[in-house]
Structure 1
Amino acid sequence: MTLTIEKIRTTNPIILNVANMVTPQHVADAINFIGGSPIMFTDPREAGDLTGISNALVLNLGSTNPEAFKSVISSGREANKKDIPVVVDPVAIGASKIRDTNFKLLSESVKIAAIRGNISEIAHIADVAWASKGIDAGQDSGDKIAIAKTAAIKTGAFIIISGEQDIVTDGHSVFIIQNGNPQFATNVGAGDMLDGIIGVALATEFNLESCAFGTALLSVAGEIAAQEYPNQPYSFFNAVFDTLAQLDDTTFQKYAKIIQE
């Protein structure tokens, strides 16, 4: 992999975000601490101006009100005009008709570079049955790598399945990230933070390897934070942010477990 934390911080890419109403501060902090520069927006009238100064766009579909979705579509189209990567989080797709409709409209209107979700969300996109619906992935049988590949081929986007092991694929090559900590699952917003960090990585260097690198950054930070707070999820979460801010390439390489299938 040619992407490095040093390169991210030297480049300092601007990441425009249509964030879930629950987590904008977490997302902005994660982007900032790893070396990007976040912009959060909700007004679709700003889409052209703000996309024009940005290096990647991250779209969280957790807010389904019409004005939020106007911002999603308008900024996505502007990002395509500028040819900057669009990262999408299809929050709880499959849980309601409106979420399915919004994702369908977005995918028909905007070229998506990367989609990050849990196994339930990605299985829904791949048209594969899975047990759980919502933001939390359930336990079910099935080949997660095959599901990720199917979703990638269907959408033409990089697919990231986050979980105990993260899977990153373009439908052909596959990276498995074997870092992380279970306390991420108890903190709302960890996935949204990952969306932003993936946006930072792809804005700095656009390829599948960078997508895997960005995915591993948060997992490694969690693994390091858990050494100090193994059973204190709130303190752990704060330590994740501290670790992201302090993380360097030497430390990252020491901990990173990125396996190419």
Structure 2
Amino acid sequence: MTTIKQIRENSPIILNVSNMVTPQHVADAINFIGASPIMFDDIKEASDLVNISNALVINMGSSNDADVEKSIAAGKFANQKGIPVVIDPVAIGASKLRQDNFAKVAKEVKFDGVRGNAGELAFLADIEWNAQGIDAGNGDGDLHEIAETVAKKFDCITLLSGVTDVISDGSKTVEVKNGHHYFAVNVGCGDMLDGILGSCLAVDNSLDSAVLASSILSIAGEIAGGITDNLPYSFLSTVFNTLYQLTDEEITEFQKLG
């Protein structure tokens, strides 16, 4: 089973196709748990950067041709090298362009992890859900069914993040019930989780590693929320401080699984 100690000992290099909003938050989250981020901008670097990396994280929040092309190029190199690929289908239900771009990447690249909120993963699962842009929105679908359907569809691990995170490999499904409501008012926390998920899968590509990724950020938020009551902006900086200090013993102590 992967531990945060192993991440810090191995310091895996995580290559990121980030969106325009959150590259600093993502790089910080990866760095503060002990992995090493690289933010990837030019397709001409794809082969060289994948060659030195231990995982690739693709965030589809920036829907332009250049990002799609470099995502495909890096993803194919990552598949050839055998390193995990994580994708985040940001607001996929919001526009046909986002749907088409995801389909282009999915056609060419094998994913090891898909991380999204309920609305995004429900869209991939063809389950009706009232998503609201980048927010999960509202629906009455079964979150386990959504996560399991997407896992089976792409033969991967899914991490459906929300008030309760639901992680599935299509046959086994686990809930992580930690967290804090200030995650919802700080844009980019899901993107941070993408990077943490890539870091965990880089050490061990397994369902247990995805559960650890969810637990790391959720528990950090739970601890930070207790320190920054009614200070949602200060909450995020405290999350980063907590990620840096978080131990496996604290994870074991605070972790609430279902």
Same fold (TM over 0.5): yes
Deviates more, 1:38-47 or 1:130-139: 130-139
Measure, in 2, the Cα distance between the counterparts of 1:143 and 1:252.
Answer: 27
Measure, in 1, the Cα distance between the counterparts of 2:173 and 2:24.
Answer: 31
What is the deviation of 1:258? 2.2
Q: What is aligned with 2:174?
A: 175
**Matches of residues 108-257 of structure 1 in structure 2 within 5 Å?**
108-257=107-256
Deviates more, 1:65-74 or 1:174-183: 65-74
Kindly indicate whether the alpha-carbon contact (under 8 Å) linking 1:59 and 1:86 is maintained by their aligned counterparts in 2.
yes
Residues 41-67 of structure 1: per-residue CA shift (max 9 Å, x gap): 110010000000000000000001111
Residues 184-228 of structure 1: per-residue CA shift (max 9 Å, x gap): 000001000000000000001111111111111000000000111
Residues 133-170 of structure 1: per-residue CA shift (max 9 Å, x gap): 42101122121101111111111111111000000001
Measure, in 2, the Cα distance between the counterparts of 1:208 and 1:133.
Answer: 28
Q: What is aligned with 2:18?
A: 19
Q: What is aligned with 1:91?
A: 90
SS, match of residue 94 in structure 2 = coil
Q: What is aligned with 2:35?
A: 36
Kindly indicate whether the alpha-carbon contact (under 8 Å) linking 2:93 and 2:131 is maintained by their aligned counterparts in 1.
no
Kindly indicate whether the alpha-carbon contact (under 8 Å) linking 2:127 and 2:141 is maintained by their aligned counterparts in 1.
no
Kindly indicate whether the alpha-carbon contact (under 8 Å) linking 1:119 and 1:144 is maintained by their aligned counterparts in 2.
yes
Measure, in 2, the Cα distance between the counterparts of 1:81 and 1:132.
Answer: 35
Q: What is aligned with 2:80?
A: 81
AA aligned to 2:86 is V
AA aligned to 1:38 is P
Q: Does 2:8 correspond to 1:4?
A: no
Measure, in 1, the Cα distance between the counterparts of 2:35 and 2:126.
Answer: 34
Deviates more, 1:99-108 or 1:250-259: 250-259
SS, match of residue 258 in structure 1 = coil
Q: What is aligned with 1:70?
A: 69
TM-score by length of structure 1 reads 0.97
AA aligned to 1:25 is Q
Measure, in 2, the Cα distance between the counterparts of 1:48 and 1:258.
Answer: 39
Kindly indicate whether the alpha-carbon contact (under 8 Å) linking 1:121 and 1:133 is maintained by their aligned counterparts in 2.
no
Number of equivalent positions: 258
Kindly indicate whether the alpha-carbon contact (under 8 Å) linking 2:14 and 2:56 is maintained by their aligned counterparts in 1.
yes
Kindly indicate whether the alpha-carbon contact (under 8 Å) linking 1:225 and 1:236 is maintained by their aligned counterparts in 2.
yes
Please report the RMSD computed on the Cα atoms of aligned residues, expressed in angstroms: 0.8
Measure, in 2, the Cα distance between the counterparts of 1:108 and 1:233.
Answer: 39
Kindly indicate whether the alpha-carbon contact (under 8 Å) linking 1:152 and 1:159 is maintained by their aligned counterparts in 2.
yes
AA aligned to 2:14 is I
What is the deviation of 1:230? 2.0
Q: What is aligned with 1:58?
A: 57
AA aligned to 2:96 is K
Kindly indicate whether the alpha-carbon contact (under 8 Å) linking 1:27 and 1:192 is maintained by their aligned counterparts in 2.
yes
Measure, in 1, the Cα distance between the counterparts of 2:186 and 2:75.
Answer: 28
Kindly indicate whether the alpha-carbon contact (under 8 Å) linking 2:68 and 2:105 is maintained by their aligned counterparts in 1.
no
Measure, in 1, the Cα distance between the counterparts of 2:149 and 2:63.
Answer: 26
Indicate the percent of aligned positions where both proteins have the same amino acid.
52
Residues 88-129 of structure 1: per-residue CA shift (max 9 Å, x gap): 000000110110001111111000000000000000000111
